[in-house]
Structure 1
Amino acid sequence: MARPAVTLDNYDDVYRYYLDHRQNLLSARIAYAALSARFRPRVHYADGARERLQALLASGTRLIVVANHLTDRDQYTLAATAWQTPLRSVIGRTRVLAKDELFTDPRLRRAIDLMGSIPVFRSQNHGLRAVADAGRRMMDVSAQRLQRGDVLAIFPEGTCNDGDPRRIQRLNTGVGHIAVKARKLGAPPALLALGIAYGPDPSVRGSADVYVGDPVLELPTTPMDITRAVAEQLQAAVDDVRAVR
C-alpha cells in the first residue's frame, strides 16, 4: 500500500497503512544508535528493573512504555534511551504514538516513520467530536500491533508540560483503552514507566536523565483504573529521576 497523506479526513487509509507498516530494521538501528550518541541521556534503573525488563522482553510479554512529556526533544531522548537499555532488542518492533502534524513535512515523516511512529489526531488540534472515530481506529491499531508482538511507546499526557515539571499532567484515557483492547485480543500488556528530567537548558547535549521504573506485569481491568495506575507509576518515575539528578 502506498503511503497515504496523514490527514484527518483520510484517517481510514492512514490507519490501514500503519497497521502493517514496518521500517527497515538496519536503518532503524543506525538511527537509534545515532540519536543515542547525539543526546546521551544518563539512564538510571529501579533496583532490579534492568534484569526484569530484559527477562520480560525475552519472554515475549507485550509491553506499553510510558514517559512524561516535557519538550519536543522527548521523542529523541526516548529513542536514545531505548538504544542504551534492553529496549534495544525491540527496535524495529516498537511503535511510538506521535502527533499528526509531525507527518506533514516529507523529510520529517521519513525520519519518524523510520522510528516506527503511528500518527495521532489530537482533539486540541481538530476538536473532540472530529477526532472521535479516528481515535478509536488508532486505539484498535495500537492494540493489534501489541497483539502481533510489538512494543508500544506513549506520552500519555498528550502535550508538553509547560507548568510544573515535577508533577505530571492529567493523562488521557487512551492508554487504558488500548491496554483493555489488547487484553481482549489475548495479549495483556505489561507497563514500563520512564521518568525524564533535563538540566536548565534541555537543548544541551547530555542534559537528560531518564529513570527506568520497575515493570508492572498486571494491570487493572477498566480503562479508567488502568489510566490511574499509569499515572501513579509515571509520577513515581518522575519523582525518582529528579531525586537522582
Structure 2
Amino acid sequence: MEIALANADEVYAFYGTHRQPVLRARAAYAYLAARYRPVIGYDDDARDRITALRRREVRFVVCANHLSDKDQFVLAATAFRTPLRRLIGHIRVLAKDELFDDAKQRAQIDVMGGIPVFRPKDHQMRAAVAAGRQMIDVCVDRATRYGDSIAVFPEGTCNVTDPSTLLPIASGIGHIAHGIAGNVEVALLPIGIAYPDDTRVGARVVLGVPELIDADDTPAAITRQVRTRLQDSVSRARALMADM
C-alpha cells in the first residue's frame, strides 16, 4: 500500500487496526535510548503523577516541541528512560507522510508506532484537511479501543527561527484530545526538548506534570492549554541545558 493522499481511506483503514510488534518496539526504543542518551528532568511531581495515571490506564496525549528531524528519536529515547516505558508498543506517533515513502524506513516507523499525517502545506488544502479529519478519528479510536497514547509535535514543522519560543500550535491536537476525553480519561503530557549542540546526543528533556483533560473543554481551549504548558516545559528544558 502506498502512503499517498489519493488513497487516504486505505491508509487510515490500515493504521486504524495496525498492531505494533511490542518486543521489537521495546528493542528499538532501548537502542535509541542508548544512542541519544537524553538528560531527563521533571516538573514538580511529574514522575509520580505519570506513574499513577499510567497505572489507572489513563491515556496520554504527549506534546513535544519540534526542533530537528531527530526529535522523534529523542522522544522515543525519553519514553524508554521514564515511566512511559511501560507504554511502549502502545504509543502512536504522528509523522509527516513523506517519511513513509522509503519502504525500509516505513517498516521502522511502523515498529515505532507511526501514523502518517498529510499536512495541508504539502498537499492540496481541501483533500489534506479531509484526510486530517480521518487521522483524528483514527487517533481517537485507537486511544479508546486499544488503549494507545498519542504523541504529537503540534507545531507541525521544525522551529528553525527561535528554539526558545514555540511556533503557532496546530489545532489537530486539541481535536484529538477532545475526542479521546469524550470516551475515556486522557491526560495532556508536555515534553520540552533542548539541544546543547548539533549532535542531538544528550538533549535536555523536561516532562511536565500531566493533567487530565476536561471532556467539556473545546478543542480550541485544549489547544491553548497545549501552547501554555508546552512553552513552560520548553523553557525549563532550556534552563536545564544552561545549568549543565
CA shift, 1:204, in A, is 4.8
Structure 1 position 209 matched with structure 2 position 204:
yes
Q: Distance in 1 between matches of 2:3 and 2:137?
A: 17
For 2:156, what is the secondary structure of its paired residue? coil
Distance (Å, rounded) in 2 between the aligned partners of 1:80 and 1:103:
21
Q: CA deviation at 1:205?
A: 2.7
Does the aligned pair in 1 maintain the 2:92–2:114 contact within 8 Å? yes
Q: Does the Cα contact within 8 Å between 1:19 and 1:145 map onto a contact in 2?
A: yes
1:221 aligns with 2:217: yes
Q: Structure 1 residue 120 and structure 2 residue 117: aligned?
A: yes
Matched, 1:200 2:197: yes
Identity score, percent: 50
User: 2:36: which partner in 1?
Assistant: 39
Q: Deviations over 1:87-116 (max 9, x none)?
A: 100000000000000000001001100000
Are 2:7 and 1:7 equivalent residues in the alignment?
no
- Asked if structure 2 preserves the Cα contact closer than 8 Å seen for 1:65 and 1:193, the reply is yes
Q: How does 1:139-154 map to 2 (within 5 A)?
A: 139-148=136-145, 149-154=147-152
What is the distance in 2 between the residues matched to 1:239 and 1:204? 18
Match status 1:97 vs 2:109:
no
User: Please, which of 34, 48, 57 is the counterpart of residue 60 of structure 1?
Assistant: 57
Cα displacement string for residues 155-190 of structure 1 (whole angstroms, at most 9, x for unaligned residues): 000000010000001000001111122223x12421
Secondary structure of residue in 1 paired with 2:62: strand
Question: What amino acid is the match of 1:178?
Answer: I
Q: Unaligned regions of 5+ residues in structure 2, if any?
A: none
What is the CA-CA distance between 1:45 and the residue it aligns to? 0.5
Structure 1 contact 179–188 (Cα < 8 Å) conserved: no
Q: What CA distance in whole angstroms lies between the structure 2 residues aligned with 1:44 and 1:125?
A: 35
Amino acid at match of 2:217: T
Contact 2:191 2:233 in 1 (8 A): yes
| TM-score, normalization by structure 2 | 0.95
Aligned with 1:238 (options 215, 234, 237): 234
Unpaired runs of 5+ residues, structure 1, are: none
1:93 and 1:25 mapped to 2: Cα distance? 8
Question: Which residue in 2 is equivalent to 1:190?
Answer: 187
Q: In structure 2, how many angstroms separate the alpha carbons of the residues matched to 1:139 and 1:230? A: 17
Q: Could you tell me which residue of structure 1 aligns to residue 158 of structure 2?
A: 160
Query: Does residue 138 of structure 1 match 2:127?
Result: no
Q: What CA distance in whole angstroms lies between the structure 1 residues aligned with 2:114 and 2:14?
A: 12
Q: RMSD between aligned alpha carbons?
A: 1.0
Give me the whole-angstrom Cα distance separating, in 2, the residues matched to 1:46 and 1:22: 32
Distance 1:93 1:31 in 2: 14
Q: Tell me the CA shift for residue 218 of structure 1.
A: 3.1
Greater shift in the superposed pair: 157-166 or 215-224: 215-224
Moved over 3 A (4+): none
Report the CA distance between 1:230 and its aligned residue: 0.4
Which amino acid in the other structure matches residue 90 of structure 1?
A: L
User: Alignment partner of 2:211: what SS?
Assistant: coil
Whole-angstrom CA distance in 2 between matches of 1:176 and 1:18:
20
In the alignment, what sits opposite 2:80? Answer: 83
Give 3-state SS (helix, strand or coil) of 1:241's partner: helix
**2:167 alignment partner, SS class:** coil
Match in the other structure for 1:169? 167
